[in-house]
């Protein structure tokens, strides 16, 4: 039997002198100073999660742990950099041997050392999104898949499909049935492309971002000696935002943590809101089962929000059945305002209220960048964007482009612009390029064919676009779609008279563009809702020229900013989806469109799935806990619909879980 010999720790030159007990609250200190072993830290919103993790690293170093034996895993480079900078401020020493970074960065570091074991060389290339799309296009061509008769998913969509299969463990067939039912007819061909894409990456000595997790996991599964090497190297593992880990990340952590099991994971199950991109909340909920000896620490003192906001937040999340129960307690004193519940007549009144209140808050001394407007889906910001622009209130959008600058909105507008201005070459070519088999050269030929008809200069649209344009020479692959496009143009101006703007948008969407969106965009449902919202918005216009003029004023033309956009360093109100707002905070938060079908989302209500509904409630909780001082919950009581008339909206059922005494209802009167 081998004799065991223990090396003494090298002298460290003394302690840092940090008084951990004095600098941390009691709950933070208990977690930071816990002995080696598995530990789960449930850190509530605004409770100092980063501070706890940072001090844990400093504490271990202070105990004589070598930096080289620490592995700190985060979800963003910014978080990793911030934590290391804070550690250096606490304990100024060389941390170059400490492994810290995102899961993908650490995966890349491991893969570079052992690439040959998975069929790559150490000089392998990492594919970005454009590289992936290019490679998949090559693969589709090599697979000789006939995409002429039916719309085959575009590379962007295929990338998302392959990524979800890899990161969630579901089969391709299950994923298509669950998330992309309109592509089920292509199951065999998509599977063929997926296998060929994997082979092509190896052939070209390349890896995509998913491979930076999947291949290290494969490496460890198949090479026990290498796994043991890294298990011995890392005495202590620390993981940030553990509730956001997917199946692959969770297994990587579990493998590396053995046999010492000195693993600390930090997260908040109440803020698990990313299942749609593969995150699995069960990873954090099942941690005590997978690590029976694990200690669980709860950090419940919130340093961000006033008690009034926290009482409401606690009540909102308490209804969920799957959670580690905790109660956030405010470190701050009570504010001067109870969270406001503000029912409003319709979406325009909601926008008017938000804009007017923002101006009042500015006059009260609140800086613009300390005000945020949050929403469940990007399209819900449309009226707000319009109203802020009309009042010259500067704003920035973190959830995407301004509404009218988005590709799908500009695509739909191109049909309308061409029908009203037959000289609009840019719009004509834009919708031509949407069709399969039509590129820049063909679009130019089609434009010249249109000009030769002599109709480009007419003041009124022709009686029938199809009678003229179906005679053009069209590539075989595009003929069927070209016919449909021509008939859609006929619907926009039947008999030479313009249809109503809302009807025109619906014709474009249902007649041709919806199929294009399904094929082209990973977030098809969100974009479809955007187009539907544009149609609802256009209900306020009878004249198509007036609508198009408004769209032009609200969007960028050829990439040039409009007069409503401002320099990045100027004060701006923030518009953001709740998903994008996670981890951020503002003095004042407006949470808009709190009506059933809007928030909670209509698809969630239709699914009648407890897990989906509880995640939606967690999203509501995340929104509430972004507010430091003032919180306004608004919803329009009536929502105009294109064909079914006005719809009376039910307040969000999440509000039913909020005791009346925790909210102050505001009655907003009409403008006189």
- List, for residues 329-356, the tens digit of each pLDDT value: 999 998 779 999 999 999 999 999 999 9
pLDDT at 645 over 70: no
Please list the helix, strand and coil fractions of the chain in percent, rounded to the nearest 5, in that order: 55, 15, 35
| Catalytic residue chosen out of the listed positions 27, 28, 49, 406 | 49
If you search the block for the tokens 């200690």, which residue do you land on? 295
Q: What is the mean pLDDT of residues 66-88?
A: 90
Any catalytic annotation for residue 570?
no
Cβ proximity of 238 and 101 under 8 Å:
no
DSSP 386-405: HHHHHTT--EEESSSS-GGG
* Spatial distance between the Cα atoms of 121 and 140, rounded to a whole number of angstroms: 25
| Catalytic residue chosen out of the listed positions 27, 52, 243, 271 | 271
pLDDT at 146 over 80: no
| Catalytic residue chosen out of the listed positions 12, 30, 50, 515 | 50
Q: What is the mean pLDDT of residues 538-562?
A: 66
pLDDT band with cut points at 50, 70 and 90 for residue 446: very high
Any catalytic annotation for residue 241?
yes
Dmax (CA) for the chain in angstroms is 97
Q: What is the pLDDT of residues 458-482, one digit of tens each?
A: 878 889 999 999 999 998 888 889 9
Cβ proximity of 625 and 639 under 8 Å:
no
Beta bridge partners of 648: 638
pLDDT at 644 over 70: no
Q: What is the pLDDT of residues 104-137, one digit of tens each?
A: 999 999 999 999 999 998 888 888 888 898 899 8
* Spatial distance between the Cα atoms of 240 and 73, rounded to a whole number of angstroms: 6
* Spatial distance between the Cα atoms of 413 and 419, rounded to a whole number of angstroms: 10
Any catalytic annotation for residue 240?
yes
Any catalytic annotation for residue 131?
no
Q: What is the pLDDT of residues 557-611, one digit of tens each?
A: 333 333 334 444 468 999 999 999 999 999 999 999 999 999 999 889 988 899 9
Q: Backbone phi, then psi, for 139, in 5-degree steps?
A: -65, -45
| Catalytic residue chosen out of the listed positions 201, 518, 528, 626 | 626
Among 425, 168, 403, which residue's Cα sits nearest to residue 277? 168
Of all residues in the chain, what percent carry a pLDDT higher than 90? 61
Q: What is the pLDDT of residues 175-216, one digit of tens each?
A: 999 889 989 999 999 999 999 999 999 998 999 999 999 999
Give the helix ranges, DSSP H, for 144-234: 155-168, 172-179, 187-203, 211-222, 224-233
Among 38, 547, 453, 563, which residue's Cα sits nearest to residue 261? 38
At 203, list the tokens: 């052939």
Q: What is the pLDDT of residues 46-61, one digit of tens each?
A: 999 999 999 999 999 9
pLDDT confidence of residue 459: 79
Three-state DSSP at 648 gives strand
In a 13 Å sphere around the CA of 547, the CA atoms on its Cβ side amount to 25
pLDDT band with cut points at 50, 70 and 90 for residue 643: very low
| Catalytic residue chosen out of the listed positions 240, 308, 530, 616 | 240
Peptide bond into 357 cis (omega under 30): no
In a 13 Å sphere around the CA of 75, the CA atoms on its Cβ side amount to 17
pLDDT at 288 over 90: yes
Cα→Cα distances 401→304, 395, 404, Å: 29, 12, 8
pLDDT at 407 over 90: no
Cα→Cα distances 19→55, 90, 105, 179, 485, Å: 11, 11, 33, 52, 72
What pTM did the predictor assign? 0.84
Q: What is the pLDDT of residues 297-335, one digit of tens each?
A: 999 999 999 999 999 999 999 999 999 999 999 999 987
pLDDT band with cut points at 50, 70 and 90 for residue 149: low
pLDDT confidence of residue 12: 43
pLDDT at 554 over 90: no
The highest-confidence range among 7-11, 123-127, 280-284, 431-435, by mean pLDDT, is: 280-284
Report the 10 Å Cβ neighbour count for 258: 11
Q: What is the pLDDT of residues 221-255, one digit of tens each?
A: 999 999 999 999 999 999 999 999 999 999 999 99
* Spatial distance between the Cα atoms of 191 and 173, rounded to a whole number of angstroms: 9
Report the 10 Å Cβ neighbour count for 205: 14
pLDDT band with cut points at 50, 70 and 90 for residue 8: low
pLDDT at 549 over 50: yes
Any catalytic annotation for residue 558?
no
Q: What is the pLDDT of residues 629-642, one digit of tens each?
A: 999 999 999 877 64
| Catalytic residue chosen out of the listed positions 189, 208, 241, 630 | 241
At 61, list the tokens: 């170093």
Terminal alpha carbon distance of the chain: 93
Q: What is the mean pLDDT of residues 528-536?
A: 86
């Amino acid at each position: 039997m081998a004799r065991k010999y223990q090396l003494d720790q090298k002298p460290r030159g003394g302690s840092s002198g940090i008084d951990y007990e004095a600098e941390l609250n009691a709950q933070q200190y208990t977690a930071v100073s816990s002995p080696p072993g598995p530990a789960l830290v449930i850190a509530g919103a605004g409770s100092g999660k980063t501070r706890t993790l940072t001090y844990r690293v400093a504490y271990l170093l202070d105990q004589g742990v070598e930096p080289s034996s620490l592995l700190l895993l985060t979800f963003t480079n910014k978080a990793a950099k911030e934590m290391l900078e804070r550690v250096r401020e606490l304990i100024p020493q060389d941390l170059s041997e400490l492994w810290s970074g995102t899961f993908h960065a650490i995966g890349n570091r491991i893969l570079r050392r052992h690439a040959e074991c998975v069929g790559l060389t150490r000089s392998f290339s990492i594919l970005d999104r454009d590289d992936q799309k290019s490679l998949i296009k090559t693969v589709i061509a090599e697979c000789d898949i006939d995409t002429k008769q039916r719309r085959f998913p575009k590379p962007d969509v295929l990338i998302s499909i392959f990524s979800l299969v890899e990161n969630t463990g579901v089969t391709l067939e299950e994923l298509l049935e669950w998330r992309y039912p309109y592509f089920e007819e292509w199951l065999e061909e998509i599977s063929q492309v997926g296998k060929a894409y994997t082979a092509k990456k190896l052939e070209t000595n390349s890896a995509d971002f998913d491979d930076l997790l999947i291949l290290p996991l494969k490496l460890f599964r198949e090479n026990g000696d290498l796994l043991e090497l890294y298990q011995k190297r890392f005495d202590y593992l620390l993981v940030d935002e553990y509730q956001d880990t997917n199946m692959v990340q969770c297994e990587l952590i579990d493998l590396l943590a053995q046999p010492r099991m000195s693993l600390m994971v930090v997260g908040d199950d109440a803020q698990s809101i990313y299942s749609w991109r593969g995150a699995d909340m069960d990873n954090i909920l099942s941690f005590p089962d997978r690590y029976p000896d694990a200690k669980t620490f709860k950090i419940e003192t919130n340093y961000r929000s006033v008690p009034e906001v926290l009482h409401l937040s606690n009540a909102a999340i308490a209804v969920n059945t799957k959670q580690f129960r905790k109660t956030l307690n405010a470190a701050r004193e009570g504010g001067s305002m109870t969270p406001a519940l503000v029912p409003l007549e319709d979406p325009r009144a909601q926008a008017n209220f938000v804009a007017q209140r923002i101006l009042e808050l500015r006059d009260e001394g609140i800086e613009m960048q300390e005000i945020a407007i949050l929403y469940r889906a990007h399209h819900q910001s449309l009226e707000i964007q319009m109203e802020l622009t009309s009042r010259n209130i500067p704003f920035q959008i973190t959830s995407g482009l301004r509404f009218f600058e988005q590709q799908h909105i500009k695509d739909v507008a191109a049909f309308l612009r061409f029908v009203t201005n037959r000289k609009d070459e840019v719009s004509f070519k834009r919708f031509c390029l949407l069709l399969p088999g039509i590129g820049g050269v063909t679009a130019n030929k089609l434009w010249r064919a249109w000009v030769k008809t002599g109709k480009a200069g007419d003041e009124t649209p022709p009686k029938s676009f199809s009678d003229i344009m179906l005679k053009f020479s069209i590539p075989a692959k595009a003929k069927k779609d070209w016919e449909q496009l021509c008939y859609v143009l006929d619907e926009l101006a039947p008999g030479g008279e313009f249809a109503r703007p809302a009807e025109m948008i619906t014709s474009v969407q249902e007649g041709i563009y919806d199929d294009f969106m399904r094929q082209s965009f990973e977030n098809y449902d969100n974009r479809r809702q955007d187009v539907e919202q544009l149609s609802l918005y256009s209900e306020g216009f009878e004249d198509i020229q007036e609508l198009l003029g408004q769209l032009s004023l609200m969007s960028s033309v050829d990439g040039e900013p409009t007069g409503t956009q401002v320099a990045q360093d100027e004060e701006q109100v923030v518009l953001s989806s709740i998903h994008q707002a996670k981890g951020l905070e503002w003095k004042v938060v407006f949470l808009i469109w709190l009506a059933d079908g809007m928030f909670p989302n209509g698809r969630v209500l239709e699914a009648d799935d407890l897990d989906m509904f509880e995640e939606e409630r967690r999203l509501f909780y995340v929104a509430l806990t972004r507010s430091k001082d003032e919180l306004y919950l608004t919803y329009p009581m009536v929502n105009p619909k294109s064909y079914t008339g006005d719809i009376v909206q039910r307040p969000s059922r999440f509000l039913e879980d909020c005791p009346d005494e925790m909210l102050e209802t505001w009655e907003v009167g009409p403008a006189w």
